[in-house]
Amino acid sequence: MILPWQKSASDKLDKMIQQNHLPHALLITGVDRIGKLNLTQNLIQKLLCRDSSCGKCELCQSLQKDHPEEGIGHSVLIRRSHYPNLIYCRTELNDSGFMSKEIRVDQIRAFCEVLSKTAESLQIGVIFYADQMNNNAANSLLKTLEEPRKNTLIVLLAHNINLLPKTILSRCQTIHINPTYDQESADWLSKQITENTRDDFDFMQLLESSLGVPYKALDDLKGDYFIKYQSWQNLLLDIALSPTKISNTDIFSDNELEVLKCLQRLLNEAIKIKVLDHDGANLELNRVIEKTSYSHLFKLLDDTNCAISMSQTTVNIKLLLDNVLVVWSHITNLKKYPAITNIQEY
């Protein structure tokens, strides 16, 4: 099933197929949880089904059950789907039972060796996620990308193309899945939760708070995270509109990094609204934007991003958040943007 926010990317792929211009190497990009693997699986089904992805034949039903991200209980190099000429390559479980952080060169060599064999029917190789390849693995893939076997399609999925070598990028045709803020995606999101709780949420606001990633919005709804997130966001907006509320930040205790990420999302959304020159779904955020300089929003976003990066060091995260919040509490009436203690020293 094509997800609402993937229609543009799917239409581009359909046009390539119809015009017989499908390249030998595709790079499908988009942020984490945007559904890159779902789009890939739909493409594979269209290419392999004799009746253009009918969804009913044995092959379609087998492919629909093929979930390469699930059910891996031991270390594997390549998972084969129900279609023998379709292979997947991904990070493995290591000996300690944890997923490794990178795809290694020996995995890519084995992947390429399988694809180097002559096949009468279309063979497809999928690497997810290609930006997890180490340098040796990426270099090992180059020859196969440069001299692909006939009747072969290689699909690379990547969260961040900046982590891929230019030599890889230049040999692939890129399809990007954009974040979504439209009503159709909000309607899809509403249908993913139980009917008796739908009235509790503003789904356009959910999309905005998840930076346009519906699957991320669903993740945020699990457990009590969304309730906590809403309380953090509401207090942040209160602080920006009424600076004295900065004394009521006890609910931020032990959640400093998540609060910084919440502020990061608010600032990203504020900048987007400012650029597009239209109101967002969050009325309080609209009030903040009306009174705030465009350049000050950008500068605070830079400092917030820096603070999030610094959280991985030995810095006092509580003090760091407090310093960021002091600026945020005056964001609507700043004349000159101040230097934030600690961040400027980083």
Domain range annotation of the chain? 4-176, 223-329
User: Alpha-carbon distance 197 to 161, whole Å?
Assistant: 38
pTM value is 0.71
Q: Which residues of the chain have pLDDT under 70?
A: 52, 66-82, 196-200, 342-346
According to the model, what pLDDT value does residue 224 have? 77
According to the model, what pLDDT value does residue 340 have? 83
- Give the Cβ contact number of residue 242 at 10 Å: 12
According to the model, what pLDDT value does residue 84 have? 76
User: Alpha-carbon distance 297 to 317, whole Å?
Assistant: 21
Topology at the third CATH level for domain 223-329: Zinc Finger, Delta Prime; domain 3 (1.20.272)
User: Alpha-carbon distance 8 to 18, whole Å?
Assistant: 15
Please report how many Cα atoms fall inside a 13 Å half-sphere around the Cα of residue 78, on the Cβ side.
21
CATH number for 4-176: choose from 3.40.50.1970, 3.40.50.300, 3.30.43.10, 3.40.50.970: 3.40.50.300
The whole-angstrom distance between residue 335's C-alpha and the CA centroid of its chain comes to: 36
In what order do the strands lie in the sheet containing 123-128? 78-80, 86-89, 123-128, 152-158, 25-29, 173-176
According to the model, what pLDDT value does residue 76 have? 52
With residues binned 3-state (H G I as helix, E B as strand, rest as coil), the percentages for the chain, rounded to 5, are 50, 10, 40
According to the model, what pLDDT value does residue 230 have? 84
CA distances from 220 to 16, 93, 113, 133 (A): 36, 26, 41, 29
User: Alpha-carbon distance 343 to 346, whole Å?
Assistant: 5
Q: What is the dihedral of CA 291, 294, 300, 301, to 10 degrees?
A: 120
